[in-house]
Structure formats: C-alpha cells, structure tokens
Structure 1
C-alpha cells in the first residue's frame, strides 16, 4: 500500500512540476534515522515521501487524523503513527524508538505545525534521537503548500543537510541541547540555501 500510494502521488504531483532534490547523498546508507523537515503545508509531507523513495518514512502524525475508521486505516497503511501533541505520553517516544531500532526511518516536523514563519522548534525529534541513539537528517522544503500553489505550478525543491548524531561523550541532557542547536543552525542555513535554488 505504501509504495502504491507514494508512486501514485509521485506521478500526480509531477503533473504540476517535477521536484528538484539536493544533497540526497547526505541520507545515511543504513536506515534507522530521523528525517526532520520544515513544514509549511500538507504538500511538503507528500514530496518528502517521494524524495526519499525507495526508502519508506514512518510519519509521526497528530492523533486527530486517526479519529475516523477511514483515515485511521489510511494512516496505518501509510505507516503513520499517532501522537497527542497537547498531552504527549510515553508512546510519543516508545513507538519511534522501536521503529528506529528496527532500522526504519521516522519523519518528524519539529515546528509541530504548518507555518511559513520561523517558530521555535519542539524538542521531540532530538529527544527521540538521543533516546534511540539515532542520527537526525535535517531537510528543508520550498515550493507549493496547497492546491492553489500546485495549480500555479510553483516549483518544489527539497534539500537535505548533514546527519546530526548524538554525542555519547556528553550527558544525555547536554547531547540533546547540542543536537538542538545544530538542528536549528542547519534549518536556518538550509532554508537560506533552498531559497536561492
């Protein structure tokens, strides 16, 4: 189901313009890592999944998307798992840790919501990375964010940064803080770089 849906989306989205992918070689050769991407609209989620094919992404998604039988089934088929953003519980870390231990790729949007403004990043991605001893690959997307943008044929671009690994020589708290600073710095640099593409 995942491959069918993603390759179908690739075909449909390509009708509005092909995506330009930069520095995909930064993705680790082995799986078991987090992709942390900027989030400006629902389209970036789709293009991110297409950009890393044939790798599958397991998205952390808001629990509201799992409230109906149809969307719950769809989300599960697309390898998404729910998180309560207002009241995060143990499963917020437990599920992605298990996925990472199995060598899978977890997709997280650290802004926590769709926004075109620079907002403080949430620490979920780095907390999970530190807990699972897994690297984070920052990614920045620039392009259409909604149906209107698609029909205006705004060109989509995505760029991948260099992996950020936990520093086991530091305490867990210090390592998470260091990863957070690096993630913010790379996000800022990648967004500036992709804007010039």
Structure 2
C-alpha cells in the first residue's frame, strides 16, 4: 500500500476522532504566520499528531513536518505510514547530522517543523516533563520563531497502548510566536527561549484545566447543586454518587464506573469537589 493511500485512509479515521472530540481550539490565527517556524507542543497521546496536523492543514498554505522517533521507521509498513504523515526520523538520545540537515532544509523552504520538546509521551496533560533543547536550538540557529501549543485531553481519548478511542473532549490552545533575544551565546539564547516557551505552555495548561473545572461545571449547574445540597445536609448516598458521575462525565466523558484513564481528574479530586467548593479550580 502506498504512502498516499495510507494517509488517505488514516485521515478519514483520525479526522472523525478529532472531529468528535475537539471542543475548543484557540489561537489558531497564530498558525497563519507566513514563513517558517518551529511548533512545540506537550505530548501525551498519539492523537496529538493528528490534532496538530488538522489544525495546520486548516490554517496554513505551506508544508509541515514532525520530528518522529527513529524507531517508527524500522518496520517497512510503519516507515511508510510515518512518512505519509511527514515524519522526520530523530534519535531521541543524540541529534544526528542527517536530522539537522533535514530540519534546516525544511525551515529554509518556509515550512513548519513540529517538535515535542519533552522527547516522549507523558501521561498527564497537567504537567510536562523536562524539555530537551533541540527545538530551541533550531529556532535560534535558523532565525525562526517558536510557536508554542498545548493539547489537553487527548490522553483520555486515546491513551498510550490503546487502539480504540474513548469518548472525551480535547482542547487545543496555540500561543503567539516567540523569538530569541540577541544577547549571549546561541546556547544561552536557546535556553532562555525554552524557558519562555515552557512558561507560556504551563500557564496555558493551567488555564485550560481551570476553564474545564469551573466553566463546564458552572454551565451545567453542578456547582450550584452541590452548594445547595451541602447547605441542606443532603449531599449523601446515591445522590452524591450520581453527582460524582456527572462531574466526571462533564470533565472527561468517561463514566465513573470505568477504569480511570491517565490525564483526567482523579476520583479523589472529584470527591474533594463534593466536599468543599474551594477545590473547584
């Protein structure tokens, strides 16, 4: 099967999943910038690749490429699949000359290069792993901006090791282009750019999770119901359990009876919400 056929078939499947799950997409105008940039994003699910792909496809005219672990190119079928989705092989332990040349060529042609600076998938979109420096060195050395992005909820829809998606919501937020300052060595400039990018991304993650916790629950009237029942001493038994189910369903789309997937509010947090409204944020 050709790469074109693989991509066409995969696009139908993953566009359906993303279309069913993507609830908010903010800052998409930042993807419309003319010229090259390095897009950096947190990474908790294989689905992240397709969320970003469809956003870029919708907003940009030029090409885009993903740094992808070189193990994805070992098997012939996996190699064709990865190339169909614009993968550039990268050794996660050391940056090879061939990868550097390919990235520079793509940026030089005005394309976007997408990098997950954590280097591997995490399991919780509230916290990020330590960043690796490669993306920021590319931005500094090639004189292009960093565009930061965060995805929340993909790890609940398609957790690591799972082939069939769950019901759930995904939120995407794109930040403004960030450029390196001119002071110091290239290494120092890249380090500062990484710090600024990470700060924006963590702030955006916190904002999205707060919006989920307060906004969604507020919209469906759960918080008012919890306060009223607590005031009347009626937040007990089956009513309490049903509220717990509603809260988890609103936040994650995952019934409370199912195993708790990574990256969602833990049951302890939900129960804390039912005990004390101050824990809603």
Establish whether TM, by shorter chain, passes 0.5: yes
Match of 2:173?
159
Instruction: Decide which of 122, 146, 167 is 1:136's aligned counterpart.
Output: 146
Deviations 1:51-100 (A, max 9, x none): 22233430000000000111112222221110111232222322111100
SS in 1 for 2:66: strand
Segments of structure 1 that go 5 or more residues without pairing to the other structure are none
TM-score where L is the length of structure 2: 0.64
Match of 1:17?
21
Match of 1:42?
46
Greater Rg over alpha carbons, structure: 2
Question: Do 1:141 and 1:194's aligned partners in 2 also have CA atoms closer than 8 Å?
Answer: no
TM-score where L is the length of structure 1: 0.88
Q: 1:28 to 1:151 in 2, by over 3 A?
A: closer
Match of 2:88?
81
SS in 2 for 1:111: coil
Question: Do 2:180 and 2:193's aligned partners in 1 also have CA atoms closer than 8 Å?
Answer: yes
How big is the alpha-carbon RMSD for the aligned residues of Structure 1 and Structure 2? 2.4
Instruction: Decide which of 27, 49, 53 is 2:57's aligned counterpart.
Output: 53
Segments of structure 2 that go 5 or more residues without pairing to the other structure are 213-281
Higher helix share: 2
Count of paired positions: 197
Deviations 1:160-190 (A, max 9, x none): 1111112235432232122011011111111
How far, CA to CA, are the matches of 2:110 and 2:9 in structure 1? Answer: 22
